[in-house]
Amino acid sequence: MTTPLVEMDGDEMTRILWKMIKDELILPFVELKTEYYDLGLPERDKTEDKITVASAEATKKYGVAVKCATITPNHQRMDEYKLHQMWKSPNGTIRSILDGTVFRTPIIIPSIKPAVKNWELPITIARHAYGDVYKSVEIRADEPGVARLVFDGESGKHQEVVIQNFKGAGVLQGMHNTDKSIRSFAHSCFKFAIDSRQDLWFSTKDTISKTYDAQFKSIFAEVYEEYKAQFEELGLSYFYTLIDDAVARVIRSKGGFIWACKNYDGDVMSDMVSTAFGSLAMMTSVLVSPDGKYEYEAAHGTVTRHYYKYLAGEETSTNPMATIFAWSGALRKRGELDGLSALVNYADQLEAACFDTLNEGIVTKDLVNLMEGITPKAVTSAEFIAAIRERLARKLA
Ligand code: NAP
Ligand code: MG
């Protein structure tokens, strides 16, 4: 390796898996070069969360990061870890510094059939992570009256429309988005489509929302012009359609594309798509910034329930697949950027060794009941990783 990978360590069971993956699957095969940031909750508390900001800044500098799952503190965690403050979600902090979009993709294998039988390839959901209902303000109107939407520009320009003449009680909501955020979202989507060689779909409800959603549609169309030549060269397409039409087409499709969604649509549709593909433990996630910085991680959390079993001395069968794929994704990207074909090959072989292991029926407990046409054998995390190592060593020999 020439450029270091930004390594963000994390919490609980995934922190245990992190070390196992490094010791068994990476360090024996790669002359690993990382800049290490410990985002485990004790270190975040000790550094007043400066470590999280530093890790995001390092990602801006080097371009590629790999992140372990981390605890987002709540009241119970405050007591458990004797925290000085209820620190914000590290993912939220990193996302806002990188101004990025999260792409979630399932890892699929032949013996786990998606609930939608014609899906053959993964569907990646890109969720816009700013604004709309998530940054809205609301009023409960408890008597008749007039609701207005008002904008006072700095220039003195005044715009005003009546929302509703309430004859009785009701509710109202004001939401917003910004051209800047929508444009960043569009850049991240087009970049990721080119990067992963997949078509890009985007959907809103611009026939009903003729100003708000229409602005999303036109910014995407405008930004597409910058990527059009590259899309055409690669034989990729950008496809805009209405959200309800998109839902129907997604269900009838074979998969194998990226579906960019507005914030709320992405929230809802990512849970539907990931559940239909099988297991949260098999879902990968990558944050892509509009200027092409990448942070790879698993979509699941720190698997707390398994961690307490581990602390009690029990062997756990936690699925490391998504965390391994975060590493392989990050190392492949580093290899591509630095022109290191051996590193790219290593990432490919690591993933192939994982697939071989699963396809031979050696699996963690969470997958046992999902598999068809094969008799799976449930093993512990350590045994599963050892089985991958054996196959990886053969491939790289
Ligand atoms: P979680 O860690 O994803 O686990 C929820 C349940 O899903 C687990 O109890 C387990 O089910 C199953 N599961 C998830 N990943 C698995 C894996 N790799 N192998 C096997 N089973 C797996 O979510 P959570 O319990 O809601 O959250 C735990 C902590 O993670 C919280 O502190 C939260 O803040 C944090 N979190 C972090 C991130 C992130 O860093 N990106 C994301 C989400 C949550 P069974 O118990 O039935 O086996
Ligand atoms: Mg949700």
Rg (CA), the chain: 23
**Residue 56 in this model has a pLDDT that exceeds 90:** yes
pLDDT band at 280 (very low <50, low <70, confident <90, very high): confident
Q: Is 70 in the pocket of ligand 1 (CB under 6 A)?
A: yes
Please tell me the distance between residue 301's alpha carbon and the centre of ligand 1 in angstroms. Answer: 4
pLDDT for 274: 86
Given ligand 1 and candidates 17, 300, 305, which is best to mutate, with the most ligand atoms within 8 Å of its CB?
300
Q: Residue 99's pLDDT is what?
A: 85
**Confidence check: pLDDT of 279 > 90:** no
The verdict on the CB of residue 363 being under 6 Å from ligand 1 is no
CB–CB of 172/179 below 8 Å? no
Cβ count within 10 A of residue 241: 14
Per the prediction, the chain carries an average pLDDT of: 96
Give the model's pLDDT for residue 383: 98
Which of ligand 1's atoms lies nearest the C-alpha of 321?
A: 18
| Residue 390, pLDDT score | 98
pLDDT tens readout for residues 195-251: 999 999 999 999 999 999 999 999 999 999 999 999 999 999 999 999 999 999 999
274: left (phi over 0), alpha (psi -120 to 50) or beta: alpha
Q: CA-to-CA distance for 260 and 263, rounded, in angstroms?
A: 9
**Residue 360: pLDDT over 90:** yes
Return the pLDDT at 278.
84
pLDDT in tens, 69-128: 999 999 999 999 999 999 999 998 998 899 889 999 999 999 899 999 999 999 999 999
Q: If you measure from the C-alpha of residue 304 to the centroid of ligand 1, how many angstroms do you get, rounded to a whole number?
A: 6
Mean pLDDT value of segment 267-273 = 90
pLDDT given at position 75: 93
Ligand 1 contact, 280 CB (< 6 A) = yes
- Counting beta carbons within 10 angstroms of the beta carbon of residue 121, is it exposed (0 to 12), middle (13 to 18) or buried (19 or more)? middle
Cβ 289 under 6 angstroms from ligand 1: no
State the distance from the centre of ligand 2 to the C-alpha of 103, rounded, in angstroms.
Answer: 14
Averaged pLDDT, 183-188: 96
CA distance 327 to 22: 9
Which atom of ligand 1 is the closest one to the Cα of 299?
41
Residues 136-184 have pLDDT tens digits of 999 999 999 999 999 999 999 999 999 999 999 999 999 999 999 999 9
Please state the atom number of ligand 1 nearest to the C-alpha of residue 300: 3
Tens digit of each residue's pLDDT (9 = 90 or more) over 290-312:
899 999 999 999 999 999 999 99
With left for phi above 0 and alpha for psi between -120 and 50, is residue 132 left, alpha or beta? left
> If you measure from the C-alpha of residue 148 to the centroid of ligand 2, how many angstroms do you get, rounded to a whole number?
31
DSSP H or E segment with residue 178: none
Query: What spacing in Å lies between the alpha carbon of 76 and ligand 2's midpoint?
Result: 21
Residue 60 has pLDDT above 90, yes or no: yes
Burial class (CB within 10 angstroms; exposed 0-12, middle 13-18, buried 19+) of 143 = exposed
